[in-house]
Amino acid sequence: MLKYKGYIGQMEIDEDEGVLYGRVLNLARDGVTFSGRTVAEAKEDFTRAVEDYLAWAKEERFEPEKPYGGKLLIRATPELHRQIALAAALLDYSSANQFVLETVREKLTGLRRSGDLPATEG
């Protein structure tokens, strides 16, 4: 994982082409990518890609996507919403939001332990 100004980059190897390539994970809308023949080149291109993205946003006068800010809106059916609220109440959570956060946190912990999700800060 690469990190720069709150943005996270993930690299992969293309053995056939002999190149490292990657994308900025927390720029879902704008699909920023980077590459290099060495790790150092790929890291440098990642930094340059983020800077280019921020400059482009300024030049085009739009607000760049921010690294994740902590608010996540989800859509649920009324029945699922009811089940979440009921489970939260029955299990003594302070809110449905707390129940959802704890449930997701537990799932992510399991994925990290199994190696299916890389460890991240925070």
Q: Kindly give the confidence (pLDDT) of every residue in the chain, 122 residues in length, as a single tens digit, with 9 standing for 90 and above.
A: 899 998 999 999 999 999 999 999 887 666 899 999 999 999 999 999 999 999 999 999 988 887 766 677 788 899 999 999 999 999 998 889 899 999 999 999 999 999 888 876 54
Q: How many domains does the chain have?
A: 2
Q: pLDDT value at position 11?
A: 94
In single-letter form, the type of residue at position 50 comes to V
Residues 52 and 17 grouped into a single domain: yes
Closest CA to 11 of 52, 46, 47, 54: 46
Burial 33-53 (b: 16+ CB within 10 A, else e): ebbbeeeeebbebbbebbeeb
Question: How many beta carbons lie within 10 A of that of residue 82, not counting itself?
Answer: 12
Domain around 39: 2-59
For residues 22 and 32, is the Cβ–Cβ distance under 8 A?
Answer: no
Residues 6 and 54 grouped into a single domain: yes
Residue 70 lies in a domain: no
Residue 120 lies in a domain: no
Q: pLDDT value at position 65?
A: 81
Q: pLDDT value at position 69?
A: 64
User: How many whole angstroms separate alpha carbon 29 and alpha carbon 106?
Assistant: 27
Q: Is the dihedral of CA 88, 78, 29, 55 positive or negative?
A: negative
Residues 48 and 14 grouped into a single domain: yes
